[in-house]
Structures are given as structure tokens and as C-alpha cells.
Chain A
């Protein structure tokens, strides 16, 4: 059992008090001998936006793809618990997963071209998605698809319906992908770097659209990004990933005001802000260790300014730091590991 379940009080951190939509406990992914996601756990509720931040290779995308069972066959995925609205996903058959994807849980990607078929018109693709999951006729599916395109802010939706992905700008393609993802009213939306490839003003448009849709449909949303600014403006709760692990789990405002892990603290100090001047940036020394060369103790220890010998002794798991706020760092506990049953994954 994770320390999250042991320690955090039953009330969730935010006011999202409904039934959990998605419950993930101790999700692990490896490719052969390489463990790239090492025991992540979280609960997502209706209307909640969970941000997952971390640098390149920290395991954000692999975690998301594992939830959707979209990883290649050479990936080994295990979890203690994986529930979607009360349904056990671990025992779900592939056919069941196929119908869940799109209708219950949908994903949007950084590069829409990877998700869109280049030889089919965008309207056709949305119609297909709608008809795959609903017993509706062509006409009705078409009407719904046009409405979806309109809802995501595509001007002249009737005409654009017949366009191919390559005829559209990056921002418009991203809108199409959002329309496709939401066409069947999924309860969970996973957005993996949905605005990273876009220009600043277009990024703001897409984030504004996602905020509107979030307010209207109250999905449970997972927003994956390396941009702490995006997370801060968008998320209710944040997981910070480092080298395949969650090192901090906190309400968004808390995370920025009182980071509980030295890595989070370092990240915050290393980003130049457009709102204020700093004389010199803090630069976390060194670089992220590759998955085949991970330290046996705390994975951040070799780069950590607060490191002490006990940090190398064992790997810290998430421990309580503030109410509803956990960090995988023993410094918050006087450089002592809490009793063993509390730190076991």
C-alpha cells in the first residue's frame, strides 16, 4: 500500500469530493530490463485537472500511454490497482479497452498529425469516431461532428469539415484533435503536451479553449507538460516526475508556494520569468540520470544541494509534507526514513 493511502486524510486536497473517476496505484512500466516508470499513484475526480510535470524522459508520456494500453508490445505494465469509474481496467479485455478508448477516456497529443489520418478529411474522421461508439446514422453523426468542430472554435465548420489535416494550421489541427477526443463525451481526458509545438498566442487560444471545455463538461483531465507556467494556470493538483518516479504530489498553489522536494524547488528557481527580473538563475547541477544508470538511493541525490549520507542509503517514497501534500524527500523528516512499513511502495 502506498504511503499516500496510509497517510493522507480521507478528504481530498481540493474540493473535488465526488467519486474517484480514475484510480491508479503503483503503476510500473519497463522495457526489457529498463524500468522507466516506477510506481506512480494518483486519484482523479470529476472536474479535476491533474498536472503531470517533469523533464524529458521522466516517464510522463509512457505513464499516459500505459493507462490507455497504447504502448508497444515490448512494454511490461503492472499496477496494484487501475480503476475507471469503478471498473477494473487491469482485468479488462482488449475489446473492452477498444470501446473505452474514445468513449470513456480520450487522449490528445503534442503533434496532431500523429493522431489524425492524413488521407481522410477531418470531418470524416470525427464521424468515424462518433459512429464507432454510438448507434447513430450518418446524418446524425455528421451533424454532431459539425457541432463539435464549431464548439472548438473552427470558423466555417461546415466547409472545413471536408478539409484534410495538412490544409490546416497547427492551431486548427489541434482544435480538430480536441473535437475528435471530446466527440463522444469521455469522462477522462489525457492531454500530452497539447500546446508545446504551438506559437505563444496560439497556445493561449488552445489553453483558453481547454479551460472552457473543462468548465462546461467537467471531465477529469490529466495535463502532461514540461511547462510549469501551463501547470500553474491550469491544474488543481500536480505530480512532479523525476527519472520515472513521482517526487512530489501537491495542490497546484501549494506546490508553487511551498515546494517540498529539492528538485521542484530547483526547477522553480531555474525558469526565467517574463514578469520579474532575477540577477542570476539557479541552475540544478548535472543532468537527469538515464534509466540504466539510476542511483540506488534517492535518484535526485547526486544533483541535490541538501544531500546527506542517509539520502544514499535507500530510495525515499512519497511522505507527508503538508496537508494533502507529499514529497519523496527525507530532509523534511530530519533525514530519517519513517518506519519501514510507511516507506514501502
Chain B
């Protein structure tokens, strides 16, 4: 079994691709942005896969593609063995009950004119699940599961703090008993003390309800804490994928090493930063060959010409680098 193939995975992504129409250029020419370019990975049942990378690397697009909230330009997404692309609308709709998403900005995700109770029950109403009595029962159960009180149901989103609003979003996501949740920067906008509450809640729910997560974050500490396996993205590609310990203890791709070195850590004391040079390239115009070569401290001529495949390394994980493991963490 290779690091990205799991036996009987819940989610299986192969050669996934998404292009967006670019903005009109100087002469009205449109340049397509390959936001996601040939991405493959599996998420096993009960597993948490972390997706980490900097802005514009395509993390959020991957999250939306796997839920089929966006139409892929190529490749396939299988959920529970079924290809989402070939399902008819009705089947896809009922399949959606099992797949949910939680966003970074809870306020943007909640209709301000609906009470918390209405918001949490809305998915049940839309999918015609249960009668009024059953829904009411489910509502109090959900409120309890996310650490809110029954009397909160009558209130409105603006009356809550950021952390509580995220709890409301989580309750809403759980309403239909999903097996898979995409968490897109779900704790990133919160203060650290509240972030810890939400991360603990997500972990507890995972164990209680047997959930599977695709966890998207730019925060390496959060990714290490929550994930079983980790995929590192750079400019639309997965550059390295492996178990959490492979990625954090023996990173093979120089970009992963650069990310780990860049993360400020309270464990190291007063230290000097030694950042990699250069800005993030424009995703509409990615560098030739290995996309990281313009910033890579160990780049060789071949890196500019040939794109390295995501291949198994001596350390076990897969890395897309001509010289994996050369840059020490």
C-alpha cells in the first residue's frame, strides 16, 4: 500500500484538476488558473487527513471539489466507492447528507435572521428528515453534543461569540449524521484559548460519532495536532504526503522543510529566522519544471526543466522532488 492509497477508503481522489477562467489580461487575453493540478489521495474511514499550504495553493478548492460543491475540470472523486461525477442529481443530493463542510468564518455561514434552533434544524427540514417532535429532540441532542444549552436555540447568531458560532456551525453540520466532514480553516479565526476548545470538540465528536475529516489549515501546529496523515500543497500540487510523523519528523521535500522552519515556535526561545527567499509565484503563471524551484535553496538545473513526480522516498512518504531528503529539517 502506498501512502496515498488506503484499502477501502471513504474518500478517494484521483488526478483531480480544476481550472478557473483568469481575469482578462492586458490585451483581453484570458489566462486560465490551474488552482488544482493532478491531485490524488485517499482518506481512510475514521482517518483525519490534514491539507496544509500557503494562500493560493488550492487547499480550499480541493475541499470544495471533494464535496462536489465545485465541478472538477478533470479527474474523479469517489465517496464510499461511488464516483460523484456520474451520479444523477437525486442520488448526489442524498449522498451529500453524508458529507459536510465547516468554514473559517462562522458568521458568514449563518443566516442572521434565523434563530439558532432554526439554523441547526434547517438541514433536517430541507432533507425532510423526521417530524417536528423528532427534530426538536434531535436539536437538543445536537446542542448538547457541541456544548451549547437548550435555551440557546431561541437566540440569534449575532448574540454569540466567535467560538460559540463555530459550535452552531458544527451542530448544523452534524444534523444529518454525516460520516465525512471537510473542516476548512475551521479554528483559524479564533483566539488561541477558543481554538483549543473547538479542536478538542472536533476530536471528541470524531471519536464519539466515528467521523472522518479532511482538515484544511495553514497552521502547522494545528495540522500536526489533528492529523493522522498530512498532504503539503504548493501552487496547486501536492508536493509531499505521508503520515504526520513522516512529514514533521523526516520531511523530504524542501518546501515542507521551509514551512517547518518558518513556523514560529515558543519551544525554541530567542532564535533567528532564516527564511527561504522570494515571493509566492502567481498561480496563473507557475514556474516551469518543479514549481518550487524559484525559491528552493537546493535547486539544480534539472529542477527548472523537469517536473518531478510524486514518488515514494527512502523515508517512506511520497515527495515530488528530484533530490528528496537533501535539505535537513
Task: State the A residues within 8 Å of B (CB).
Answer: 55-56, 169, 171-172, 199-205, 207-208, 211, 226-236, 252-253, 256, 266-268, 270-278, 280-285, 287-288
Contacts and interface: CB of A to CB of B under 8 A. Distances in A.
A208 B272 contact: yes
Contacts of A276: 267
A95 to B, nearest CB: 39
Nearest 10 pairs of A and B residues by beta carbon: A229-B264, A272-B225, A204-B262, A270-B196, A204-B275, A208-B273, A199-B54, A274-B220, A272-B221, A283-B196
A274 B271 CA distance: 16
Interface string B197-240: 10110010000000000000011111111100000000000000
Contacts of B272: 208, 211
Contacts of A274: 220-221, 223-224, 248, 260, 263, 265
Contact of A271 (B221, B268, B273): B221
A207 B264 contact: yes
A232 B265 contact: yes
A201 B262 CA distance: 6
B213 to A, nearest CB: 15
A278 to B, nearest CB: 7
Given A55-B193, A199-B55, A202-B279, A208 B264 contact: no
Contacts of B193: 55, 266-267, 270, 283-284, 287-288
A226 B192 contact: yes
A287 B273 contact: no
B192 A270 contact: yes
Given A201-B54, A201-B276, A271 B196 contact: yes
Given A199-B280, A201-B262, A205-B277, 5 more contacts: A204-B261, A232-B269, A233-B269, A275-B248, A282-B196
Contact of B270 (A233, A270, A282): A233
B191 interface: yes
Nearest to A268: B266
Interface of B: 54-55, 161, 163-164, 191-197, 199-200, 203, 218-226, 248, 258-277, 279-280, 295
A281 B187 CA distance: 14
A269 to B, nearest CB: 8
Contacts of B268: 232-233, 275
Contacts of A266: 193
14 contacts: A55-B192, A204-B262, A205-B275, A205-B277, A207-B273, A227-B264, A256-B266, A270-B193, A270-B196, A271-B221, A280-B200, A281-B200, A282-B196, A287-B161
Which of A232, A234, A274, A277 is most buried by chain B, counting CB atoms within 10 A of its CB? Answer: A274
Contacts of B196: 270-272, 281-284
Given A270-B195, A281-B200, A203 B262 contact: yes
A56 B191 contact: yes
A167 to B, nearest CB: 13
Contacts of A267: 192-193
Contact of A201 (B161, B163, B270, B275): B275
Contacts, number: 152
Contacts of A275: 248, 265, 267-268
Given A229-B266, A270-B192, A204 B260 contact: no
A72 to B, nearest CB: 24
A277 B221 CA distance: 9
Contacts of B267: 232, 256, 273, 275-276
Contacts of B222: 272
Contacts of B266: 228-229, 231-232, 256, 268, 271, 273
A261 to B, nearest CB: 13
Nearest to A56: B191
A47 B275 CA distance: 23
A232 B266 CA distance: 5
Contacts of A284: 193, 196-197
Nearest to B199: A281
Which of B163, B194, B260 is most buried by chain A, counting CB atoms within 10 A of its CB? Answer: B194
Which of B55, B163, B203 is most buried by chain A, counting CB atoms within 10 A of its CB? Answer: B55
A239 to B, nearest CB: 16
B273 A229 contact: no
Given A226-B191, A230-B264, A273 B270 contact: no
A200 B54 contact: yes
A175 to B, nearest CB: 10
Contacts of A231: 266
Contact of A236 (B191, B195, B262, B270): B270
Contacts of A283: 193, 196-197, 199-200
B224 A232 contact: no
B288 to A, nearest CB: 20
Given A199-B54, A275-B265, A280-B203, A252 B270 contact: yes
A72 B56 CA distance: 36
A274 B261 CA distance: 10
Nearest to A280: B200
A249 B275 CA distance: 30
A201 B232 CA distance: 14
Which of A172, A203, A282 is most buried by chain B, counting CB atoms within 10 A of its CB? Answer: A203
